[in-house]
Homo-oligomer: A and B are copies of this chain.
Amino acid sequence: MTTISDPATLDPAAARGLFRAGTAVPTAGWASGYTQANLIAVPADWAYDVLLFAQRNPKPCPVLDVTDPGSPATVLAPGADLRTDIPRYRVWRDGELVDEPADVTGVWRDDLVAFLIGCSFSFEWALLAAGVPLRHVDQGRNVAMYLTDRECRPAGRVHGPMVVSMRMVPTDLVDTAVRESGRMPAVHGAPVHVGDPAALGIADLDRPDFGDPVVGEPGDVPVFWACGVTPQAALMASRPPFAITHAPGYMFVTDVRDEEYRVG
């Protein structure tokens, strides 16, 4: 049996190769420095509504690439196959989750258009580099994500609430976190809210809708960023006949370096 090397030091193609071969684990910390992306694939006749929804809601839905109908290839990772190279998928019918396989070759369709959406993992390296601790990473947990009471601007048949990710940030580093993430508008940008969860309609920080609860340190403030799981919440609300997404936390690892999405 071979030993898997440190996932952080793998190059993206090697990471995708392991996922293609059946390794089905969350991708946080894998292929450090390379952008990870959310996947949402819908039939072509829903593609305009999804693309317009993303254009109208760029903070939660920053589009990094859109494929041609039926194609499992993306410019973000030449040679990759979107049907096999994500460690875990979700398959949706009429807005209901029906399966969570590690490969979707068998259910892929010739009319599927795949959207690759930016992920907050991309700005986390910038937070760390600026001295902002990542509590969920230190605690070995998935980031905490919440449905909010803020409706996205709808587009045709696609509508739904904004989903946010939350990080506990020391009060004196909130300005740093805002500035650093604000320089990366292609991967969610600056926070949408700092402080009171109730302002976003979040009743209990200890009960996230996706991911794991995260414990803050004394003096920490909850900081909320628009989250790439928002299109999945829109799928659940808008009920297209068929869709494939990644499973939350099990992202597509691209060949693009995070710095390429940094502005200024």
Contacts and interface: CB of A to CB of B under 8 A. Distances in A.
A58 to B, nearest CB: 9
A179 interface: yes
Nearest to A45: B48
Nearest to A153: B75
Interface in A166-206: 179, 182-183, 185-186, 189
Interface stretch (A49-57, A88-96, A157-165): A49-57
Copies in the complex: 2
The DSSP consensus for interface residues of chain A is: helix
A233 to B, nearest CB: 21
Nearest to A48: B48
B55 A52 contact: no
Nearest to A69: B156
A47 interface: yes
A254 to B, nearest CB: 16
Nearest to A182: B264
A66 interface: yes
Nearest to A261: B185
A129 interface: no
Interface string A221-239: 0000000000000000000
Please provide the 9 A-B residue pairs with the shortest distance between their CB atoms, ordered closest to farther. Answer: A264-B264, A48-B48, A183-B264, A263-B263, A51-B51, A185-B263, A55-B63, A52-B66, A55-B66
8 contacts: A51-B51, A51-B52, A52-B66, A55-B55, A182-B263, A183-B263, A183-B264, A189-B263
